[in-house]
Structure 1
Amino acid sequence: MDHVNISVANNEEKGANVDFDYSQRAQWLRAAVLGANDGLVSVASLMMGVGAVKQDVKAMFLIGFAGLVAGACSMAIGEFVSVYSQLDIEVAQMKRDHITNHDQELAEKENLPSPFQAALASALAFSLGAIVPLLAAMFIDSYKVRLAVILAAVSIALVVFGAVGAVLGGSSRVKSCVRVLVGGWLAMAITFGLTKLIGSSGLQM
């Protein structure tokens, strides 16, 4: 009977450790995966949109670089504000609970979300994703080859990011990769198509 109790206790402890690992990953994983995918898809879509009406490699690179900087700043600020709001709520809840035990208070504070870490993770992840289409396009003069290389590089990166996010998050890799890949393709296709339509309607650039 004691052996059974010990086994059950060990299994519960292992389960608790697994849950703890995933809960600790949740904050930075969400910021990193979303940031990387946003950077990749946003900047690639911007470059494809410009490529729909302008074949100059310099124009595509400049719009992509501007998208990288603006997007990284936007992600960092947005994540900072969001996590800081969450932090304020949790601190207020701690005060309402009247925590008096010093050790417990320190433990609670250590588990609080960090707005600065979340903002930095978002900015870096967005930049990591955004740099993929920039590097894929900056050295290719041929317009059609450039678009094909951007599409190929972005597709590979989407699959990689989807797989990494699935592995770290404990979800299905196939579903995650397909979902991310199809979403990225749709974003680029819609941006390219609408920009091409507007450009062909007589708008001069």
Structure 2
Amino acid sequence: MTEPDFDHEAGRHQLGDESGKYFDYSQRAQWLRAVVLGGNEGVVSATLLIIGAGTHIDETEALIVTGLLGLLAGALSMATAEFVSVYVQVDTVKAQEDRDQREGRAGGTKTAAAPSPTQVAVAASVAYVVGGILPLLAAFAIKDQQIRVLAAAVTAWFAMLVLGNVAAALGKASVARSCARVLVGGWIEIAVMVGRRKALELYGT
């Protein structure tokens, strides 16, 4: 499977305009979306792992191995999902471009405008690892379960805040809105998953 040719000029503009002239920051939207998604999922997954597995795993070494394996599996899953889903978009754009060319339509969709599946997959998986490693590092050195969970929660809050700031800075968007979305969304996901686990413990068979 080979990726379509992408506009190298557009790719260069994604990194910024060194001349100080007009730059369309929306060109960063696809890979920046993947960074936020991957980073947030990494933070949430690692925090949930510490909250859940930490109650059943007493040895720090076992928790480290479990955490790192979970981080690797999550990053690979994230990369695969992004690669496959973005290729759906690329295939759709390419098919429409082919139809436009056959029917003689000018100014139709352009494959060059579609995101790179590899770029998006790498961005999401790397962000997942970076986001997930922070709560794990905070918890690995702590043996007491309650303090470990507290440390992971504080680190997760900090990591989400940093992720929101990075997203806003790279997209030249509102810092407050970006941070609020990441924090609220991340903690809702954590709360739902913890609530689900508690419900299964209480009412599961």
TM-score (norm 1): 0.74
Q: Describe the shift of the 1:44–1:192 C-alpha distance in structure 2 as closer, same or farther (beyond 3 A).
A: same
Q: Describe the shift of the 1:61–1:186 C-alpha distance in structure 2 as closer, same or farther (beyond 3 A).
A: farther
C-alpha contact (below 8 Å) 1:28/1:121 kept by paired residues: yes
Q: Indicate which of 21, 25, 30 corresponds to 1:21.
A: 25
Which structure dedicates a bigger proportion of its chain to helix? 1
Question: How many residue pairs are counted as aligned between the two chains?
Answer: 182
Corresponding residue number in structure 2 for 1:131: 133
Shift of the alpha carbon at 1:144? 2.2
Q: Describe the shift of the 1:81–1:71 C-alpha distance in structure 2 as closer, same or farther (beyond 3 A).
A: same
Q: Describe the shift of the 1:125–1:116 C-alpha distance in structure 2 as closer, same or farther (beyond 3 A).
A: same
Corresponding residue number in structure 2 for 1:66: 69
Corresponding residue number in structure 1 for 2:41: 38
Q: Indicate which of 164, 167, 172 corresponds to 1:165.
A: 167
What is the percent sequence identity of the aligned residues?
43
Q: Describe the shift of the 1:196–1:59 C-alpha distance in structure 2 as closer, same or farther (beyond 3 A).
A: farther
Query: Using the alignment, how far apart are the partners of 2:173 and 2:25 within structure 1?
Result: 14
C-alpha contact (below 8 Å) 1:49/1:191 kept by paired residues: no
C-alpha contact (below 8 Å) 1:53/1:195 kept by paired residues: no
Q: Indicate which of 93, 97, 110 corresponds to 2:96.
A: 93
Aligned to 1:97, what secondary structure does the other structure show?
helix
Corresponding residue number in structure 2 for 1:187: 189
Q: Describe the shift of the 1:132–1:121 C-alpha distance in structure 2 as closer, same or farther (beyond 3 A).
A: same
Query: Using the alignment, how far apart are the partners of 2:58 and 2:182 within structure 1?
Result: 27
Name structure 1 gaps, 5 residues minimum.
1-15
Q: Describe the shift of the 1:194–1:88 C-alpha distance in structure 2 as closer, same or farther (beyond 3 A).
A: closer
Name structure 2 gaps, 5 residues minimum.
1-20
Shift of the alpha carbon at 1:200? 6.4
Query: Using the alignment, how far apart are the partners of 2:65 and 2:54 within structure 1?
Result: 12
CA RMSD of aligned residues (A): 3.1
Q: 2:25 is matched by which residue type in structure 1?
A: D
Query: Using the alignment, how far apart are the partners of 1:190 and 1:51 within structure 2?
Result: 18
Query: Using the alignment, how far apart are the partners of 1:82 and 1:202 within structure 2?
Result: 34
Query: Using the alignment, how far apart are the partners of 2:100 and 2:55 within structure 1?
Result: 58
1:110-121 → structure 2 map (5 Å cutoff):
110-121=112-123
Bigger radius of gyration: 1
Query: Using the alignment, how far apart are the partners of 1:17 and 1:80 within structure 2?
Result: 31
Shift of the alpha carbon at 1:109? 5.0
Aligned to 2:54, what secondary structure does the other structure show?
helix
Query: Using the alignment, how far apart are the partners of 1:57 and 1:129 within structure 2?
Result: 20
Corresponding residue number in structure 2 for 1:84: 87
C-alpha contact (below 8 Å) 1:35/1:126 kept by paired residues: yes
Aligned to 2:65, what secondary structure does the other structure show?
helix
Shift of the alpha carbon at 1:201? 6.9
Query: Using the alignment, how far apart are the partners of 2:138 and 2:203 within structure 1?
Result: 30
Shift of the alpha carbon at 1:170? 3.4
